[in-house]
Structure 1
Amino acid sequence: MTAVTPVLPGLKARYLRSGLHQVKGWLAVSTAVYLSGIEVAQRTDGITGDVAEIGIHHGKSFLCLSLDLPVDQRAIAIDVFDNQTANVDGSGRGDRSIFEQNLTTYGAGSNVEIRQSSSLDLEKDGFVEAGRRFRIFSIDGGHTAEITENDLWIAERTVIDRGLVVLDDVLNRHWLGVISGLFTYLGNGGALVPAVFVPNKLILATSADQAKYYRVLFAEQFPGGREKSDVPLAGNLIDVYAERPWLVRDTDGGSGPITGHEPMATIPAARLAELERQLTSAQRERDTTRAELTATQQRLRAATMPLYRKAARRMPWLARPVRPIVRQVRGVLHRTK
């Protein structure tokens, strides 16, 4: 069943309809809708502040947050980009030039600030000292437990009271460091409270009251997306939102579906490498098995044919009825080559 988005500003709506699949990255279509819609819903409800994301790649999710942002609000993009020595787990390879081109292509404003840095260096570089200023803080950087916990502490200390934090890959079986880091953060007294789960991302609020607020806000903005309510997680209740086909509405009264398809962009490079290794291993195993079968067939022929010939010479009356069986065996051996 097709769901309908809240009314979105023009750049956001156009990006979702026709640009989303042109930008390489790993982002569920419905999650792009949820991020875009909740950013607008915050402003409508009087929540002001900047937005930030750790882990940019080519900007697929960052554009959902930064397009049509008011000129007095900033969008901060944080990534190591070409400094891949800081990408300790290989969880993505950002490309700054492609990212900047995508900002231009899809109309991001001059209020975007790019910060080339490891999130592990943000605190010592004064990022936290600047105070609480973010209404949305998206975490999609390093996927180790250590980095995830660090990024959650950074977000907690810089997000405003009515803001939210978005944690990527929290249930991704290939990146179990994320959920480990989340529970370490919560176990060490982290104040962020799980509120909503959208495809592949957990949304956390700054308090239990704010978690309830965002659960209500999501239900109002995306009534066709909610799949389950009151799901227990880490001592809290969250709502779960599903993947849906969407009809995207805009402020000009237009509407249209999200188009395009780029399936390879949804498979992380590490997973592709794993699949390639599995394929190579399977091919080697096949070749080994085929060679062993050929050798077995040759040994079988060598063992049986002399006996048959000897019996045919000495006991032709016995060999005659056996000949059709021998021919069938030869046919089977020939077909299995």
Structure 2
Amino acid sequence: MTAFTPVLPELTAGYLRTGLHQVKGWLNVSTAVYLSGVEAAQRGAGVSGDVAEIGIHHGKSFLCLALDLPADQRAVAIDVFDDQAANLDQSGRGDRDIFEQNLATYGAGDNVDIVQSSSLDLEQAGFVAAGRRFRIFSIDGGHTDQITVNDLRIAERTVVDHGLVVLDDVLNRHWLGVITGLFSYLGDGGSLVPAVLVPNKLILATSTDQAKHCRAMFAEQFPDGLEKADVPLAGHQIDVYGDRPWLVRGEDGRSEPVTGHELMATITAARLAELEQQLRSTRAELDTTHRQLDRTRRQLDATRQQLRTAAQPLYRRAARRLPWLARPVRPVLRRVRAVVRRSR
């Protein structure tokens, strides 16, 4: 079912429509919609603060948060970039030059701060000491359990009360250090509260009340994306939002498909229902054909058995009366039996 995004600022809407597929990286299209929509909804609700991301690569998800920011808000990009010796698990390889080109191409503005550093060094560098200032903090850096715990702790101490923390690859089977680190963080008394799961990312709030507020905001902004509500996770209740073909609504009133979902977005509800009915009919026909084939096989087996049963006395009688004929026939019969067995 085609879904509509909330109304998005023009740069953000344009990036989703035509730019998302141009930036290399690993980001589900629907997740890009959710990130962009949440950022816009926060500003609309008057939540103040900056945005930040650990782990930039070429800026695919960072641009969902950094476009159209007010002049008094900053977008902070944290990555080791060319210092790959600090990329302990080789999870991605950021390129600062390409990232800065993408910022310029899609109009991120002059309010982007780039911190070239490992997240493990941020506290020592005074990053945490600056205090709470981020309304969205995205974590997509190192994927070991230790780094995940470290990054969650940094986000916990720098995000504002109404802010959100976004943890990437939480259910990625190739990077199980992330889910291990999440449960370690929660088990050790971490104060962030899981609220919403979108494709490949978990969104956490600063308290149980704020998690409820986050879930309510998602329900309002993305009613067509909800797949399952009140799912238990680590002692909390979360809502699960899935992948949809989206039409992006801009402030100019236009609704156009998200890059990568153009084909699905053009299928009307009536046409989709027709295709689903055709699929059900085809499956029913296949089931009928399979049942008919099974009956035919059983009939063939019964016929073969009848033929064998009928042939046995004739063969024995011929062997008694015409032994000189039975001897050369035996190898032929053995071959016939072998062929019959292979054909069953």
TM-score per shorter chain, which class? 0.7 to 0.9
Tell me the residue number matched to 1:160: 160
Spell out the pairing of 1:27-66 with structure 2 (5 A cutoff): 27-66=27-66
Say if 2:4 is the partner of 1:4: yes
TM-score by length of 1: 0.78
* Alpha-carbon distance in structure 2 between the residues aligned to 1:187 and 1:197: 19
Q: Contact conserved, 1:2 with 1:246, CA < 8 A, in 2?
A: yes
Question: 2:96 maps to what in 1?
Answer: 96
Q: What letter is aligned with 1:28? A: N
1:75 aligned partner, one-letter code = A
Q: Per-residue CA shift, 1:280-314, capped at 9, x if unaligned? A: xxxxxxxxxxxxxxxxxxxxxxxxxxxxxxxxxxx
Shift in Å, 1:81: 0.3
**What secondary structure, in the 3-state scheme, does the structure 2 residue paired with 1:129 have?**
helix
What is the CA distance between 1:259 and its match in structure 2?
2.5
Q: 1:182 maps to what in 2?
A: 182
Measure the CA separation in 2 of the matches of 1:46 and 1:98: 33
Query: How far did residue 260 of structure 1 move?
Result: 4.3
What SS does structure 1 have at the residue aligned with 2:129? coil
Counterpart code for 1:174: H
Which residue is 1:78 aligned to? Answer: 78
Deviation of 1:24 after TM superposition, in Å, equals 0.4
Q: Structure 2: how far apart are the matches of 1:19 and 1:142?
A: 26
Name 2:131's counterpart in structure 1. 131
Q: For the residues of structure 2 that align with 1:68 and 1:198, how far apart are their CA atoms?
A: 23
Aligned partners of 1:259 and 1:235: how far apart in 2? Answer: 37
What is the root-mean-square deviation of aligned Cα atoms in Å?
A: 2.1
Q: Does the CA contact (< 8 Å) of 2:225 and 2:244 recur in 1?
A: yes
Q: Is the 8 A contact 2:29 2:260 kept in 1?
A: no
Cα distance in 2, alignment partners of residues 259 and 161 from structure 1: 34
Cα displacement string for residues 191-211 of structure 1 (whole angstroms, at most 9, x for unaligned residues): 000000000000000000000
Q: What CA distance in whole angstroms lies between the structure 2 residues aligned with 1:233 and 1:24?
A: 32
CA distance in 2: counterparts of 1:52 and 1:132, whole angstroms: 12
- Would you say the 8 A contact 2:30–2:244 is kept in 1? yes
One-letter amino acid of the counterpart of residue 194, structure 1: P
CA distance in 1, matches of 2:164, 2:175: 22
Is residue 17 of structure 1 aligned with residue 32 of structure 2?
no
Aligned counterpart, 2:277: none
Cα separation, 2, equivalents of 1:228 and 1:123: 38
Q: Which amino acid aligns with 2:37?
A: G
Give the C-alpha shift of residue 254 in structure 1: 1.1
> 1:249-274, CA deviations, whole angstroms, 9 ceiling, x for partnerless residues?
0001111001348xxxxxxxxxxxxx
Aligned amino acid, residue 93 of structure 1: R
Poorly superposed stretches of 4+, deviation over 3 Å: none
Q: What residue in structure 1 maps to residue 115 of structure 2?
A: 115
Cα-to-partner distance string for 1:16-70 (whole Å, 9 max, x where unaligned)? 0010001000000000000000000001111010000000000000000000011
For residue 141 of structure 2, what is the amino acid of its counterpart? G
Q: Distance in 2 between matches of 1:88 and 1:112?
A: 26
Report whether the alignment pairs 1:250 with 2:253.
Answer: no
Aligned to 2:170: 170
Match of 1:240, SS? strand
Instruction: Give CA deviations for 1:207-245 in whole Å, capped at 9, x if unaligned.
Output: 000000000000000011000000000000000000000
Q: How many residues align?
A: 273
**Percent of aligned positions with the same letter in both sequences?**
78
SS at match of 2:239: strand
Residue 26 of structure 2 aligns with which residue?
26
The residue identity in structure 1 corresponding to 2:46 is G
Distance in 2 of aligned mates of 1:260 and 1:146: 35
What letter corresponds to residue 204 of structure 1 in structure 2? L
Counterpart contact for 1:18–1:260, Cα < 8 Å: no
Structure 1 unaligned segments of length 5 or more: list them: 262-317, 326-337
Give the Cα separation in 2 of the matches to 1:242 and 1:206.
Answer: 23
TM-score, length basis structure 2? 0.76
